[in-house]
Amino acid sequence: MNADFLGDIQTPALVLSLEALDTNIRTMATARPDATLRPHVKAHKCTGIARRQVAAGHRSFTCATPLEVIGMARAGVGNDLLLANECVDTRRLAAMATAERETGIMVTVAVDSPITVDLAADAGLRHVLIDVNVGLPRCGCAPDAARSIAERAVGRGLIVRGVMGYEGHLMTAPENDKPSKVEECMRLLIRAFDSVVDVAGDECRIISAGGTGTYHVFDRHDSVLGRVNEVQAGSYALMDSSYGAQPLPFEQALYVVGTVVSTTSGERGSWAVIDVGLKSLGMDHGNPHIADANVWFCSDEHTTFSMIDGPLPRVGERVLVRPAHIDPTIAMHTAIHVVPRWGDAVIDVWPVDLRHW
Amino acid sequence: MNADFLGDIQTPALVLSLEALDTNIRTMATARPDATLRPHVKAHKCTGIARRQVAAGHRSFTCATPLEVIGMARAGVGNDLLLANECVDTRRLAAMATAERETGIMVTVAVDSPITVDLAADAGLRHVLIDVNVGLPRCGCAPDAARSIAERAVGRGLIVRGVMGYEGHLMTAPENDKPSKVEECMRLLIRAFDSVVDVAGDECRIISAGGTGTYHVFDRHDSVLGRVNEVQAGSYALMDSSYGAQPLPFEQALYVVGTVVSTTSGERGSWAVIDVGLKSLGMDHGNPHIADANVWFCSDEHTTFSMIDGPLPRVGERVLVRPAHIDPTIAMHTAIHVVPRWGDAVIDVWPVDLRHW
């Protein structure tokens, strides 16, 4: 796509197509309407995007950091915010409790150990989910430990709203294996839920799991997978080249735009260099992609690439870069430039207002 | 190293030992005193650190972005600032020219094409270096093109201060090959300089190259390498695990500090999880390092690791993480917590005030 429509935008910069964003949000909201999706804001860190998810019917959101919870609450977006990570920072826990009290927006935090329960209660928080390890070696208690953690939470006066478990290791599993592998994980989560529910009572209803790579396997009619009643997908709204390589019905809605600063054509090859590099791209999933080009490598401030076919762009031309991993990419930027459709001029700039911790 | 000395610091956070920093700065200033080193600020993006480099005798600095140049000038740090990258953004070029005029601190920009020369002149900038490609496929003109670019610059009223060329592809070359390989690159740079100097006149004196991985090969008595009269090293001040794997006389002066948020011990293994992840670590050089531990993987907000020997840390304990690549790591943070020596309490917080572009 020719990127002249971006005019005099200063680069590197993020550019978002509202049309592509809203198409992705609509596609997901059709598959997982209302509270059956708890969109994850960690992918976009932007209340402007979260508001579009609210407009599509979602009111409950997943957050990765206390600052995301507090930022969403203060901006009045959503009515049910989950910190889906353990937090042991007493000041941040207290700040979330204050935000809940002052905004009236419910805050729930994940707990997976006695100390995380105690710190949540001490901070004045009121709602927790028991985080259960379902196979990814990260946070979450053993399924058999969920009940005792729930007992401790109830004993501390906390309301246990249910359980969560993230099968992150299956997001890019082969499609034919995915449902059975996810089901194996969800059996652990449901066993944990069933052990918790008679401790926690009527308000214990949530079984939360999943992501963009697995949202479609939670068939409501399946006796196991159908019991998962909310999915925590986030990347679907914007996408990246990693998720784009999977058979998912979402399109790329955000690019990093760069400007060509140097070109070389000679005996040793022909290449162009843009001002997009390691400080404007999450690199853990590898190099970014550029249409019709081979990306050679990224440096701190540059990406070097050659064209598969056709002439090099000229110095000063704009180039759209598709990040390999959207979440850390957005976290490096302060703002997102918004166009109605690819090819239209920028009509708005949305702050990445949920950055940092 | 036990990290309890960090007290109630909120994590993830950067922590810097002044003793280690000053040792590194002193070691480098002994090898390359005064103007023979042009420290690169892109690695630290922090005028607080640049001021320590000034205290060690350096006054000329290398920058990667216009904002680094403008930030250094406005902070009054150094007297000779080089933008060692091409810039085609007319507003940023003009802002650098304004900063030069208003602060009296000399600004020089790299140029490698007719258009970069013209844009620098149009913006009111006065000094340029001709950027020469010496082997890394990135920016820089062909050595044979340097003269015509210098002629154009002189014709536009610009002062050509010399040439620069970055042999970035050799920073991690095997030590025994390094001098001969760098010399090969420098022959190209010197050929370019010799073709430029009789166009550019008396003010053309600079031959700038090198980095932390090659600063020691520029032997003043060598007929080729000795002609390089300034080295653009930056990472030496703070270091990372990539440069740390090389036989360099610098120590790790900065860590990312995390807090353990979850631990698991069971049949499937024992691991701990800290709140340091892809949004607080540059990942292009691979996983970070943790002393006495095996790092399993990093997620957006977490790093999972096991201990090589000995017990897991407990939830709430602090863990020091050595980044694989210092430059993009620092660019993700807003501030650096300063301790006099490892083990001492935090005495200061320096803003990462040269972030962004």
Q: What is the C-alpha separation between B207 and B161, in angstroms, rounded?
A: 9
Amino acid B7: pLDDT: 87
Q: Is the pLDDT of residue A268 over 90?
A: no
Shortest Cα distance, chain B CAs vs residue A310, angstroms: 19
Q: A274 vs A3, A290, A296, A306, A344, CA distance in Å? A: 13, 11, 12, 11, 22
Q: What is the C-alpha separation between A331 and A323, in angstroms, rounded?
A: 12
Q: Residue A104: which pLDDT band, with cuts at 50, 70 and 90?
A: very high
The predicted model gives B96-104 an average pLDDT of 98
Residues B104 and B226 in one domain: yes
**Is A184 within 8 Å of chain B by CB?**
no
Q: Is the pLDDT of residue A1 over 80?
A: no
Q: Is residue B123 part of a domain?
A: yes
Q: What is the C-alpha separation between A84 and A163, in angstroms, rounded?
A: 10
List pLDDT tens digits, range B215-237.
999 999 999 999 999 999 999 99
Which chain B residues are Cβ-neighbours of A266 within 8 angstroms?
142
Which chain B residues are Cβ-neighbours of A273 within 8 angstroms?
138-139
Q: Is the pLDDT of residue A25 over 80?
A: yes
Shortest Cα distance, chain B CAs vs residue A43, angstroms: 9
Q: Is the pLDDT of residue A2 over 80?
A: no
User: Residue B197: which H helix or E strand, with range?
Assistant: helix B178-200
CB proximity list for A71: less than 8 A, separation 6 or greater: A47, A353, A354
Q: Which of B88, B139, B300 sits opposite A316 (nearest CB)?
A: B88
List pLDDT tens digits, range A214-245.
999 999 999 999 999 999 999 999 999 999 99
Residues B119 and B226 in one domain: yes
User: Residue A107: which H helix or E strand, with range?
Assistant: strand A106-111
B10, B111, B118, B138, best to mutate vs chain A, most A CBs in 10 Å? B138
- Tell if the CB–CB gap between A262 and B92 is shorter than 8 Å: no
Amino acid B151: pLDDT: 98
Say how many residues make up chain A.
357
The predicted model gives A199-209 an average pLDDT of 96
Supply the range of the domain harboring residue B309: 4-13+249-351
Q: Is residue B19 part of a domain?
A: no
Percentage of the residues of chain B whose pLDDT score is greater than 90: 97
Query: Any idea what DSSP says for residue A43?
Result: T
Q: What is the C-alpha separation between B319 and B115, in angstroms, rounded?
A: 49
Residues A168 and A68 in one domain: yes
Q: Residue A99: which pLDDT band, with cuts at 50, 70 and 90?
A: very high
Q: What is the C-alpha separation between B8 and A140, in angstroms, rounded?
A: 24
Q: A259 vs A107, A152, A348, B183, CA distance in Å? A: 42, 56, 20, 32
Within 10 angstroms of residue B162's Cβ, the number of other Cβ atoms is: 24
Query: Any idea what DSSP says for residue A314?
Result: P
Evaluated on CA atoms A219, A220, A226, A227, the torsion sign reads positive
Residue A61 · residue A88 · CB < 8 Å: no
Q: What is the C-alpha separation between A153 and A120, in angstroms, rounded?
A: 9
The predicted model gives B151-169 an average pLDDT of 97
Q: What is the C-alpha separation between A219 and A250, in angstroms, rounded?
A: 19
Amino acid B53: pLDDT: 98
Q: What is the C-alpha separation between B308 and B317, in angstroms, rounded?
A: 18
Q: Which of B178, B201, B232 is where one domain is finished? A: B232
Nearest to A343 by CA among A13, A15, A9, A5: A5
Q: Is residue B79 part of a domain?
A: yes
Helical ranges in B11-122 per DSSP H: 18-31, 47-55, 66-74, 90-103, 114-122
Q: What is the mean pLDDT of chain B?
A: 97
Q: Is the pLDDT of residue B2 over 90?
A: no
Q: Is residue A166 part of a domain?
A: yes
The predicted model gives B110-129 an average pLDDT of 98
Give residues 109 to 128 of A whose Cβ lies within 8 Å of B: 112-113, 115-116
Q: Residue A20: which pLDDT band, with cuts at 50, 70 and 90?
A: very high
Residues A320 and A196 in one domain: no
Evaluated on CA atoms B289, B291, B295, B301, the torsion sign reads negative
Q: A20 vs A28, A90, A145, A318, CA distance in Å? A: 12, 40, 43, 20
The CB-based long-range contact list for B98-103 (8 Å cut-off, 24+ gap) reads B98/B124, B99/B69, B99/B70, B99/B73, B99/B74, B100/B73, B100/B125, B100/B126, B103/B73, B103/B74, B103/B76
**Is B299 within 8 Å of chain A by CB?**
yes
Residues A191 and A274 in one domain: no
What residue of A is the nearest CA neighbor of B272? A138
**Is A2 within 8 Å of chain B by CB?**
no
What ipTM score was computed for the predicted complex, to two decimals?
A: 0.97
Q: What is the C-alpha separation between B214 and B168, in angstroms, rounded?
A: 9
List pLDDT tens digits, range B278-289.
999 999 999 999
Which chain A residues are Cβ-neighbours of B357 within 8 angstroms?
10-12, 275
**For the domain that residue B342 is a member of, what is the CATH number?**
2.40.37.20
Percentage of the residues of chain B whose pLDDT score is greater than 70: 100
Q: Is the pLDDT of residue A266 over 90?
A: no
Q: Which of A232, A261, A278 is where one domain is finished? A: A232
The predicted model gives A35-53 an average pLDDT of 98
Residues A45 and A183 in one domain: yes
Q: Is residue A339 part of a domain?
A: yes
Q: What is the mean pLDDT of chain A?
A: 97
Residues A95 and A203 in one domain: yes
Residue A35 · residue A106 · CB < 8 Å: no
Residues A282 and A198 in one domain: no
Residue B302 · residue A139 · CB < 8 Å: yes
- Overall domain count for chain A: 2
Residues B161 and B204 in one domain: yes
Which chain B residues are Cβ-neighbours of A260 within 8 angstroms?
88
Amino acid B267: pLDDT: 80
Q: Residue B1: which pLDDT band, with cuts at 50, 70 and 90?
A: confident
Within 10 angstroms of residue B176's Cβ, the number of other Cβ atoms is: 7
Side chain identity at residue B120, one-letter code: A
Q: Which of B205, B232, B259 is where one domain is finished? A: B232
**For the domain that residue B164 is a member of, what is the CATH number?**
3.20.20.10
Nearest to B147 by CA among B181, B183, B117: B117
Q: Which of B88, B89, B262 sits opposite A139 (nearest CB)?
A: B262
Q: Residue A7: which pLDDT band, with cuts at 50, 70 and 90?
A: confident
Percentage of the residues of chain A whose pLDDT score is greater than 90: 97
- Tell if the CB–CB gap between B88 and A259 is shorter than 8 Å: yes
Q: What is the C-alpha separation between B297 and B278, in angstroms, rounded?
A: 10
Q: What is the C-alpha separation between A68 and A52, in angstroms, rounded?
A: 17
Give residues 60 to 99 of B whose Cβ lies within 8 Å of A: 64-65, 85-89, 91-92
Q: B209 vs A55, B94, B215, B226, CA distance in Å? A: 54, 26, 9, 12
Residues B203 and B327 in one domain: no
List pLDDT tens digits, range A138-192.
999 999 999 999 999 999 999 999 999 999 999 999 999 999 999 999 999 999 9
- Complete DSSP assignment for B39-64: -BTTTT--HHHHHHHHHTT--EEEES
Q: Is residue B267 part of a domain?
A: yes
Q: Residue B266: which pLDDT band, with cuts at 50, 70 and 90?
A: confident
Residues A226 and A285 in one domain: no
The predicted model gives B156-182 an average pLDDT of 96
Shortest Cα distance, chain A CAs vs residue B74, angstroms: 21
Number of H helices, E strands in chain B: 9, 15
List pLDDT tens digits, range B234-260.
999 999 999 999 999 999 999 999 999
Shortest Cα distance, chain B CAs vs residue A13, angstroms: 10
CB proximity list for A127: less than 8 A, separation 6 or greater: A106, A107, A108, A109, A158, A159, A161
B299, B314, B326, B332, best to mutate vs chain A, most A CBs in 10 Å? B299
User: Residue A320: which H helix or E strand, with range?
Assistant: strand A318-321
What residue of A is the nearest CA neighbor of B326? A300
Amino acid B3: pLDDT: 84
Q: Residue B268: which pLDDT band, with cuts at 50, 70 and 90?
A: confident
Residues A206 and A260 in one domain: no
What residue of A is the nearest CA neighbor of B169? A299
Q: Is residue A265 part of a domain?
A: yes
pTM of the model: 0.97
Give residues 222 to 261 of B whose Cβ lies within 8 Å of A: 259-261
Within 10 angstroms of residue A173's Cβ, the number of other Cβ atoms is: 18
Amino acid B4: pLDDT: 81
Amino acid B35: pLDDT: 98
Side chain identity at residue A353, one-letter code: D
Side chain identity at residue B197, one-letter code: V
Shortest Cα distance, chain A CAs vs residue B279, angstroms: 5
Shortest Cα distance, chain B CAs vs residue A313, angstroms: 14
Buried b or exposed e, range A93-113, using 16+ CB within 10 angstroms: bbbbbebbeebebbbbbbbbb
Q: Is residue A97 part of a domain?
A: yes
Tell me how many degrees the CA angle B312-B313-B319 measures, rounded to the nearest 5.
125
Which chain B residues are Cβ-neighbours of A89 within 8 angstroms?
10-11, 259
